[in-house]
Each structure stands twice: as C-alpha cells, then as structure tokens.
Amino acid sequence: MKILTVFTGGTIACSSRDGVLSPDESNGFLLLDMYNKTYGGAEFETAVPYSILSENLSAENLGMLYESISGYDLSRFDGVIVCHGTDTLQYTGAFLSLRFGLCETPIVLASANYPLADPRSNGFENFSASVSFIGSGQGKGVFIAYKNGSDKYTAVHRAIRALPHLPFSDELFSLKNQPYGYIADGAFVPNPDYSESQSEFPVLGAPTEKSVLFLRPYPGMVYPRLDDGFKAILLDSYHSGTIRTDGAEIEGFCGEAKRLGINVYLTGSEEGFGYESKSRFSCLGIKPLPPMSPIAAYVRLWLE
C-alpha cells in the first residue's frame, strides 16, 4: 500500500519549546516512524506545502494544498493523508471535498487534540485509522478520521459533513451525528444508518476574489455595512433554524443586500417547525439552504 502523506503543521506536528507549542516538521517523520514500527506494511511518500498552526490558515494556504495534491498522479497511490490542525480541520475538509469531489483516490485528513508526545494525544490513532481506512478500499472522496475521547472507536467522517466544534471541546461530530463508519481493531466498519446523494459532491473551481460574509445570530444583533466586495451572505441560525426577522436591523440589512445584488442565504434551517419568524424569510429575500454543515455551506458559497 502506497500513501501520499501531506504535512501542513497543526498540533499533530507541534513540539513544546519553553511552554509554547509550535509546528516542528520533524514530527511528521516521527509519526511515520511510529506507524512503521507499530504496524508496517505501508510505503509513504511525503510532501510539505507549508507548516503552520491551523488557526492561521488562509485562502492562500488552501490553494497551495490543492496545488500540492493535484500536482501528483494520484493513480500511483492507494490514498492521501493530510496531517492537519484540528481548529480548521472542517474548513480544509470541505474545501478539498468541493475541489476533488468523489475522487477515486481517497483523501483522509488526520489531526491531533494534543501533540504526539502528550499521552492524551489521539494523533497516532487518527493517523493509523486513516491508513486502515485507505487500506479498506471502501471510500471515494475526502474524509476525516478522528477519535473522540468519549468514543471506543475512531470515526471516519465525510469531510463535507463535519460540524463545527463546540466551545472548549475538541470532539468532532458529523451532520445528524452520522459518520461514514468506524475503525474497529484496524478494520473499517460502515455505518448502516449513513446515506448520501451525488448532489452533495460537486466539483468546484478556485474561489474568486470576492468574499462571503458569514454571520451568527445573537439577541441585539448589529449587522455590518455592506459593499460590493461580497459575493454572498450566509446567516447561521439558532438550533430551530430561526433568526430574528421582525426588526428594523434585519429589514435594512436585507434591503441593502438586495440593492447591491448580494444573495442572502440561511444555514441550519429545514422544513417543519413552522414558526412565525420563518414565514418572513421570503419577503426579506433570505434563501434557506438544504441541510448541510454550516462550514460546508460557507465554503461552497465561497467557491461557487
């Protein structure tokens, strides 16, 4: 089994110096050495397009990562593992999902909640699970392998379905809490309750220079001023798929968006639960999106 392993930094590559964690490129090769000594049976070819803390991820970095991976003849490999930081793991997962689609050579993102030298780290388990999943040959497209501390097995998530982390938590979940499957005792076990449609995996091009404005609701919300530098606006919603729709602030904001020709979308809302507030979406020009991860919605609007 031959695997292209792409190191980008993040906690999985961090070392502590004077109490400060920072990426250390040698840790990537330590990870491969740990795997070969524990399991063996895999040949790794490596690439390092950049090495950063993932909270510093930029559009330029994402472009560099795509160019690095797509610059290889992926048919030479059984799979690709991208070692990444956990903070922005879902953004890179959604980006790669929408650039590569259901590619024949699976791409799996692996991260760590603590540096590899820390006994609490799940980094080696996540990496090993990524190798096991690639070896199973049971998936096309882009995935994330991640073991939550409260779980017995490492979950394999469709990357485009990964949800944002909850505050103060490093645990990772999929939309509707349905991962693609699990790695149990080195073998991939599909989730029998998982289903998907081809429409979830369009192949999109590079982002334009215009930005997507992504806003979360809160009581007393103050909306920013708009200009023609935005290609779209994405509103997140409360858990019931609602936002405040009866105030002068939202009316003025949506009116200005309409004047500038900027579409306003809402994520997190679905049919049912017909609250009065939802009945005003249409007159405000707010377009609810189909159920998807808010991060996937943001990245999709950014790339379309």
Q: CA-to-CA distance for 210 and 301, rounded, in angstroms?
A: 11
Q: What is the pLDDT of residues 215-268, one digit of tens each?
A: 999 999 999 999 999 999 999 999 999 999 999 999 999 999 999 999 999 999
Q: Which residues lie below 8 Å from residue 77, measured CB to CB, with a gap of 6+?
A: 2, 3, 4, 45, 105
Domains of the chain from N-terminus onward: 2-200 (3.40.50.1170), 211-303 (3.30.750)
273 pLDDT tier (thresholds 50, 70, 90): low
Residues written for the chain: 304
Q: CA-to-CA distance for 184 and 161, rounded, in angstroms?
A: 21
Q: CA-to-CA distance for 158 and 5, rounded, in angstroms?
A: 19
Which one, of 290, 219, 223, 291, lies nearest residue 262 by Cα? Answer: 223
Q: CA-to-CA distance for 257 and 227, rounded, in angstroms?
A: 9
Query: Which pair of tokens denotes residue 50?
Result: 């950049």
Residues of the chain with pLDDT > 90, as a percent, come to: 86
DSSP-based helix, strand, coil % in the chain, nearest 5: 35, 20, 45
Q: So what's the pLDDT on residue 272?
A: 66
Residue-wise DSSP of 93-120 = HHHHHHHH-S-SS-EEEE--SS-TTSTT
